[in-house]
Amino acid sequence: MTASTTGLEGLRSYVDGDHLGGGDPLRVTDPATLSTVAEVPTAGVADFERAVLAARRAFDRGDWPGIPAAERAAVVLRFVAALEARREHLGETVVAETGALVASARGVQVDGALGQARDAVRIHASLPEEEHNPVPLDALVTGGRVATSVLTWEPLGVVSAIPAYNVPLFLALWKVVPALLAGNTVVLRPSPLAPLTVLALGAAAKEAGLPPGVLNVLVEQGDAGARLMTTDPRVDAVSFTGSTSVGSAIMAQAAPTLKRVLLELGGKSAGIYLPGAVDRAADGIATVMRAMAGQGCVLQTRVLVPQARKDEVLAQAAERVAALRLGDPRDPETDVGPVISAAQVTRCADHVAAARRHGGRVVTGGRPRPELGGHFFEPTVVDLPDTANPLAQEETFGPVVSVLGYRDVDHAVELANDTVYGLSGGVFGPTEEALAVARRIRAGTVLVNGGYFGAFASSGGWRRSGEWRERGREGIRAYQQAKHLTAVSH
């Protein structure tokens, strides 16, 4: 597939209502075949400066922040509809640039993303723009006069949005739609590893009639533009999804201007299988492999099972995982596709090697598979003796799952919490028992026997997994600031 056959018009950066001309080309590669998907012109630092200026002007002097919320919502719905008209081509492009399985790309990464964008409009409509602040009546009486106390919600201003590569459309819309609904203007910079589906947002914005400067989309080869987005004093907030190390750097870059920083960062999530649910562990491990080849920050890549049944689980997992078919994501028989890059293959191999050096045992997999023609790494299960092993502590972002044994429930909770991360987790077993364990896990989201994933429930990390939350009511309020209004009769 090339840029001319994707069906996605406007595969160029979009600034202040117009597509940019040609910059140095960025070659986007299919991770399954290493063929060129497209070559797109990149934006330079001057283009990013222009985008920030356009967003600042659109917020300070334009109508977007001040028009009624229902009118903004109508424009956002037209924007989503413009993307929905490109649904088929978006799905094809997600497969080509990320290596996602076809069913996942279409059903989850495109249809799911667009559905949640529409749900975000519903959530925003349910939130009051102002609400009475609950102050006791005796506290409101001032000098014989009664004061009113109202809390209003207003936009932050200019938002820099920087999503990751693994689910590019999902992550971009989680940031852009709430920010726009709240009345902000946005500068959006996709990952250079997977920019194509996100670039489609520029064409959709133009078609939907978003005013110039309200949404700007720029792709770059390096990170100079991203640095400007996180340091420029004209930017009021930064929303980033990616690694903890980069998130930490962004927080430092934003600190001098005291921007709001919204971070969804790395994870090393644990899945605890209670004694009544141990038979589900092998399938749970296989599910991690199938989900974007393990490239998901919320995936449960540490599996905790009763020590007495650990060998049994490892044997079942080895059989289940060894049967997974690694290969072309367009083949309906494929279970696990490629990782995004050669660097990611190396990271997987290095993490497995480190696990071995520290006493881990590879039960199945553990090798790169270059003969398959792309960036492939075997689905891998590693038996770990304890959480001191680096594989139990460091995020791999690939099809590598570790299995640890616990003595009792208290020990399981201790192992699950023995990490600097706190993004997600899961507990499997009888509902009441599993819920009680879930309440003890130090993470922003804990799924019990699967749980719910959708626009109406927010997610977000604790500790080194991030700040603030996305989706749900909290995901809208994250792009707003509160103002207290109080008045007494004249």
**Amino acid in the structure at residue 9:** E
From the candidates 97, 206, 220, 297, which is the catalytic residue? 297
Please give the sequence-ordered ranges of beta strands (E in DSSP) within 52-94, or none if there are none.
Answer: none
* Separate counts of helices (H) and strands (E) for the chain: 16, 21
From the candidates 175, 206, 259, 268, which is the catalytic residue? 175
The model's pLDDT over 208-240, given as tens digits with 9 standing for 90+, comes to 999 999 999 999 999 999 999 999 999 999 999
- Phi, psi values for residue 480, rounded to 5°: -125, 160
Query: Are 93 and 197 within 8 A, CB to CB?
Result: yes
**Opening angle at CA 74, ends 68 and 77, nearest 5:** 140
Burial 429-468 (b: 16+ CB within 10 A, else e): beeebbeebbebbebbbbbbeeeeeebeebbbbbbbbbbb
d(CA 332, CA 335): 8
d(CA 447, CA 437): 11
Burial 308-340 (b: 16+ CB within 10 A, else e): ebbeebbebbbebbeebebbbbbeeebbbbbbb
pLDDT along the chain (490 residues), means of 10: 46 94 90 95 97 98 96 98 96 96 93 96 94 71 69 96 96 97 98 97 96 97 96 98 96 97 96 97 95 93 98 97 96 97 98 98 97 98 97 96 98 97 96 97 95 86 93 95 83
Catalytic residue status for 259: no
What separation in angstroms does the CA of 430 have from each of 274, 289, 448? 8, 25, 9
pLDDT at 488: 76
d(CA 146, CA 138): 9
Catalytic residue status for 414: no
pLDDT at 138: 64
Output the six-digit token pair for 22.
């040609």
Scan for tokens 């077993």, then name that residue. 429
From the candidates 92, 394, 395, 470, which is the catalytic residue? 470
Query: Are 28 and 114 within 8 A, CB to CB?
Result: no
d(CA 234, CA 229): 9
- Phi, psi values for residue 364, rounded to 5°: -155, 150
Q: What is the pTM of this model?
A: 0.93
Scan for tokens 């390096």, then name that residue. 222
From the candidates 92, 264, 378, 395, which is the catalytic residue? 264
What separation in angstroms does the CA of 61 have from each of 54, 66, 126? 10, 10, 28
